[in-house]
Amino acid sequence: MPITDLLERNAKLYGNEVALVEINPEIKEEQRVTWKEYELIQPTSRSFYRRQITWGVFDEKANRVANMLRDRGIAKGQKCAILLMNCLEWLPIYFGIMKAGALAVPLNFRFTGEEIKYCLDASDADVLFFGPEFIGRLEDIAGHIKKTTLLYYVGDQCPSYAEDYYKQASNSSSAAPLVLIEDKDEGAIYFSSGTTGFPKPILLLHEALMQSAQMEAIHHRTTKQDNFLCIPPLYHTGAKMHWFGSLYTGSRAVILKGNSPQAILSAVSNEGCTIVWLLVPWAQDILAALDAGKIKKEDYKLDQWRLMHIGAQPVPPSLIKHWLEYFPNHKYDTNYGLSESTGPGCVHLGLDNVHKVGAIGIPGYHWKIKIVDENGNAVPQGEVGELCVKGRGVMVEYYKNPEATAEVLKKGWLFTGDMARQDEDGFIYLVDRKKDVIISGGENLYPVQIESFLAAHPKIHDVAVIGLSDKRLGEIAAAIIQVKEGMELTEQEVNQFCIDLPRYKRPRKIIFADVIRNGTGKIDKPALRRLYRGERLVEAQSKG
């Protein structure tokens, strides 16, 4: 059954029950209270930071979006992009697009204007839903977007070049659209990493989305009584597919617009959250705040919190050991996946395997794995090779890119580009990445993009970007810069030059040194990693 059927089922069975809650802790933070006081406050007095919708309203809003699109000529198979920060409107728009028979195309809210245009073109998007945070970026590329693109603005004070989403949706029918959707229909296009700079569009079927929802519920033993706290961005397959467990069971979820330790624990406490997915930095921040006494467990109601799981980057075993010192009754899981595998879970640790922390785990529900050598042959157990996965969640293709698809899809197996080994108990450990993509705080950084940007500096002769390990973010981007002969360049100048880069793409370490290249003229990144990983970096100094 298609993923949209789950929403319609929940609306029929649980129509008056709360489906989604949005919490914005940045609004009037000084009025936040401990759990003991929280129960005494009337609902109306906390509406300034809290919104909610029921399953019935959720489905109704999705129907209005679907009918709005159908009325404007959007047919089955067309693509509709979403460029929004996390908000209560996000998921009804996502499901409304799919209910219209169209494909939802979530976009990273950190994308520059150039990247937004690239993704709209690469996915053949005919519609873009965008929020107020992106007005400037849209204005920068307005003249380069195809004129037939429908632009729906989700916010107050709609710009002249767009249509008011709220007005158009409210004037559309709330009845279910008469569109036949089947398992094998295309459901979404997500963008993921690519070593050539821009991300690739990944085509997923409804069948893959449904597999992800069922798997999430099974892996984390989600029930109708659970309450999932969603913090990461919804454009990401990680956040979305973990929430699919709530969709599958008809249980409540909370969208938190903030990730401070206080915001997370307050949301868990006040909303009664039972499942929380964290990134490594957020878990570290919570532990640091507890260690320093900045927050105290007794100020929050946390007994119902049963599961903390982490994904998107390697997890230090020491972090989980420390976590269990504060939360000894928590179940723990880690999840491995790619957007090409419909997000997390093709490999997962499992709730009862905390003794194997450090591994990414065992094959997920309905998944198969193999570890192969350069010729595609399975390696002996314990030896290192490339991790390959196979299951219903594997993508159809890199959209309209048969060459790139053929590189990673072979006889139904997805070659992940990650090097791994399997121990005697069948648990898989990542060893290294074949690709050069840097994962920093759960976000993919593309070295080629950063290198190309820095190469435009008039004093830079050559540049290479590699990942260096970091306790908080997993990895950080380090730029090895070779200065032009006879010139001087300082770290301050480089940082100032990088102001035009999105903050998350800026190198966090600057190393002034010669860039090593191999015999064919390519940057020898393995040699650079051997040289700089594990060494204590000194403060960058000017070089002449």
Strand partners, 163: 152
- d(Cα 90, Cα 105) in Å, to the nearest integer? 12
The residue behind tokens 């903390």 is 308
Q: How far is CA 61 from the centre of its chain?
A: 24
Q: Which of 401, 402, 341 is nearest to 190 (CA)?
A: 341
Tokens, residue 467: 């990942």
- Same topology for domains 4-326 and 438-532, yes or no? no
β-pairing, 409-410 with 413-422?
Answer: antiparallel
The residue behind tokens 């969208």 is 255
Q: pLDDT tens string for the chain (544 positions)?
A: 899 999 999 999 999 999 999 998 877 644 444 444 433 333 333 345 788 999 999 999 999 999 999 999 999 999 999 999 999 999 999 999 999 999 999 999 988 898 899 999 999 999 999 999 999 999 989 888 888 899 999 998 899 889 999 999 999 999 999 999 999 999 999 997 543 457 899 999 999 999 999 999 999 999 999 999 999 899 988 889 999 999 999 999 999 998 899 999 999 999 999 999 998 778 888 998 998 899 999 999 999 999 999 876 667 787 888 899 999 999 999 999 999 999 899 999 999 999 998 889 999 999 999 999 989 999 999 998 899 999 999 999 999 999 999 999 999 999 998 888 899 999 998 876 666 778 888 877 777 778 878 888 989 888 889 999 888 888 999 999 999 888 899 999 999 999 988 888 899 999 999 988 764 456 788 788 888 875 434 333 334 4
Q: Which of 59, 8, 49, 6 is nearest to 27 (CA)?
A: 49
Q: What is the DSSP letter of 380?
A: P
CA Rg value for the chain: 24
The residue behind tokens 């728009």 is 93
Sorted by sequence, the CB contacts under 8 Å of residue 124 that are 6+ apart come out as: 78, 79, 399, 400
Q: For residue 191, is it left (φ>0), alpha (ψ between -120 and 50) or beta?
A: beta
The angle formed by the CA atoms of residues 216, 220 and 225, to the nearest 5 degrees, is 100
CATH of 4-326, one of 3.40.50.12780, 3.30.1050.10, 3.20.19.10, 3.30.43.10: 3.40.50.12780
pTM confidence score? 0.81
| Domain segments of the chain as ranges | 4-326, 438-532
CATH number of 438-532: 3.30.300.30
> 248, 214 in Cβ contact below 8 A?
yes
Q: How far is CA 239 from the centre of its chain?
A: 6
- d(Cα 153, Cα 167) in Å, to the nearest integer? 10
Q: How far is CA 442 from the centre of its chain?
A: 7
Q: State how far the alpha carbon of 164 is from the alpha carbons of 12, 102, 129, 148, 170, in Å.
A: 29, 20, 10, 17, 10
Burial environment of residue 68 by CB neighbours within 10 A (0 to 12, 13 to 18, 19 or more): buried
